[in-house]
Structure 1
């Protein structure tokens, strides 16, 4: 069985294993708290009584920022180095707390945009930094765990959502305060733990630009495959019934952790197969959640959906790392393109969803669409994950066949 990544890391002085572990935990917590800040910020936005279109615009303030941030993240990492780049990302997330000081729509939009920019930088930097400090099975496990960081943050946010809904202003401040505490710890720990991945890293890593990345077929399909799934999930935790989505999120944490353990022990050639099978099951589960909205089996459908969405995510993320000869610099560029393209697509799909919702009755008192039409639309959009995963499966099969022919020759 494959237990190592194909990432070709440049030689560097490694920090002690304990420090690298602490840094990995801080990376996870930082992005987890971004999800908390996003969700509790949604509570604050909803308390202001905006329409479905304006609520979607507030969500898209973050997703638009994710597009821009993702496009520049790889170069930010290259220019600032991992420590300063991650510090910048964390500071932008902390800035999101200033939303609690205003009720003016354009100002809140700007603050949410800055929050999203920090999250965009952070999610790309996660992959670039762990590829520099970890290798082998440790890298696979870290990538798997990081793939559930956002979902874990949602689980935390939803668990305490009832209490925070009574005082959404406090919720926004609390999320920013927790992020600030992690940022302070990061400034101390990263100074020691990233000494082997300094600002001069780019001089020993491979020359690989965003232009190079956009020319690669893999990067486009990898990103577009995720676009529909991301759009569906953002709509789900913003506009679905809170009781159902809570079970989706909780099951997702369990599914992703299980997927992390299984993927680290799974042969590389099997990983695209797992992703494709789960992608097909996602469509079935998403349809079941929609059909059983008021049924006593709604919880079961939600749990199933959470499992089949997040169990394959560690496998899916690992596809970027098991390409032949891939380097940390290429990983950073791949995930810059991945998040930029997927969030750009989600901006469009989420806004179309909102327009359909407004045209078919708007939102009910629980912030869910009155009509099923927008939910049907977003389930159809989610199918891009199945299409893309099958294409990636075929691509990896072709790569293995090509390598076999070269060996035979």
Structure 2
């Protein structure tokens, strides 16, 4: 056990989670898919579940998990093996995110950012030298990365960003700031989006230790408390031109990264919903009121039946979206529908599950309130609930509302 691990109290409560599969969706998965899911599920039970309540209660990031995630292979699993990835398909990636977020949304955020928002843009838009330098270390967990797009005054409208850079010989001079950046305070490298002197959005790899680059932590969060969040501040940072992503030009590049992350979120939110449902189902069979388990009362059964129905629908959405993604046919609107639906569904299930647990539902004895608080961030980041609605509206009508 490392020094980092020793800082966390390990719960003795057994994690005996089994996922609901009312429509036998496992029949649609390959044996490899199921083996990958089992491996990540066992990892979550062994490494995350015993410490996550303590980490969330104390608002401490379990940093030692980063290297263990790397060993498990959940960082950039769709990246080719030659760059340190696993060369897996997108359903495998989705199942990984489902299982990790079943443990905690903050832990899934750490993995999502590393794979979809740091490794993916370097792989897709980076030079061969950049790929060789950064991807293997990010895949192994030796490096932690972050993604700098959102600014204090520009969230849903990233095109208005103020961060900018100017030519300075073999370098550029970067100024500006980014806000609400997962992994930032511990990141070794940041994929930063900023405007050049012509006003075009470009991607830059800003490395820890560059003079004028700081990453202050954001404190006081009531959500994603086991994740670490911060700012990125650039004060005349000299970035080598060799750190500019050569094939990223315009807003389309960062948005393509967000599509990958949103895809993982759709699966992840399903994992959180499953955890809340399973906890509520088991509790309803154990809690006795008026002489029988509360699971025997009609209103409790109504809640559980509606939860299972929505989870089953979301499972089918994820599976179909995964097949489209693997075939290169998943549009931004397809992904928006899944992210928007599944996160809202998970929030509803967390709230209903909290009621079934009664007063115990607000304590760390059960995962419900932690999931509910986490999902309040998930419903906002990577495109708010309403922005995804408008993306769908644009796809339906052909008219942009923003």
Q: Which has the higher helix share?
A: 1
Normalising by structure 1, we get a TM-score of 0.34
Higher relative contact order (CA 8 A, sep 6+): 1
Q: Which has the higher strand share?
A: 2
